[in-house]
Amino acid sequence: MIKYAKSPYAYLITWTTYGTWLPGDKRRWFSRKESGSLEPNQKLQSLAKEKMRSPPFLLTKKDRLLTEAIIQKVCHFRDWDLRAVNARSNHVHVVIEAIINKPERIGPQLKSWASRALKEVYKNRDRFWTKGCSCRHINNENSLGAAIIYVKESQDDPDRFQ
């Protein structure tokens, strides 16, 4: 386990695959300009769908395994402690312990390396991920444990949104 120089010391990073969770989505959605989840908006979702430059992208089982393997390699190379990773069909969750000055750079680095690997499989595809990602700071052991459980176990829990 890493000895912590300062808080926060861990991060829950999440990003979605391209075109699978648009602004206005009925599952609620997030904006970089506003805090918290936003209400569904069918008109906004339709507009976002019209602006898409590529069809939506879903990760297959092989794609998910490839994405997770690349994330493990990047974390090993960067000396980040990967606590949990779960690549789903339409999003990726990662929990990382790292002492880093700019944690908002972790997600883009992971996405970039995963894109390179996926580009080897899908040579004609330009977009795999949506723009940006969420980087939630984890400041204590209880929150770290909860984030790890969420990523590893709660993704298949149908009651998690109840």
Query: 96 in a domain, yes or no?
Result: yes
Query: 130 in a domain, yes or no?
Result: yes
Residues 51 and 103 in one domain: no
Q: What is the pLDDT of residue 10?
A: 95
Range(s) of the domain holding residue 115: 10-20+57-156
Banded model confidence at residue 24, pLDDT cuts 50, 70, 90: low
C-alpha to C-alpha distance for 43 and 101, rounded to whole angstroms? 40
C-alpha to C-alpha distance for 93 and 120, rounded to whole angstroms? 22
pLDDT at residue 121 tops 80: yes
Which amino acid appears at position 86 of this protein? Answer: N
Q: What is the pLDDT of residue 101?
A: 85
Banded model confidence at residue 26, pLDDT cuts 50, 70, 90: low
Q: Report the share of the chain in percent with pLDDT over 70.
A: 76
Residues 85 and 143 in one domain: yes
Residues 97 and 145 in one domain: yes
Q: Exposed/middle/buried for 134, CB within 10 Å: 0-12, 13-18, 19+?
A: middle
Q: What is the pLDDT of residue 37?
A: 60
The structural domain count of the chain equals 2
The arithmetic mean of pLDDT across residues 78-105, rounded, is 94
* Rg of the chain, C-alpha, whole Å: 16
Query: 101 in a domain, yes or no?
Result: yes
Residues 16 and 36 in one domain: no
The arithmetic mean of pLDDT across residues 101-114, rounded, is 94
C-alpha to C-alpha distance for 125 and 94, rounded to whole angstroms? 24
Q: What is the pLDDT of residue 72?
A: 98
The single residue listed with the structure tokens 């979702």 is 45
Tokens standing for 140?
Answer: 């204590």
Tell which residue, 92, 113, 105, has the closest CA to residue 21: 92
A 10 A CB-CB count for 131 gives: 10
Q: Is 60 helix (H, G, I), strand (E, B) or coil?
A: coil
List phi, psi (to 5°) of 147. -65, -40
Q: What is the pLDDT of residue 7?
A: 56
Average pLDDT, the chain: 84
Q: Is 22 helix (H, G, I), strand (E, B) or coil?
A: coil
pLDDT at residue 146 tops 50: yes
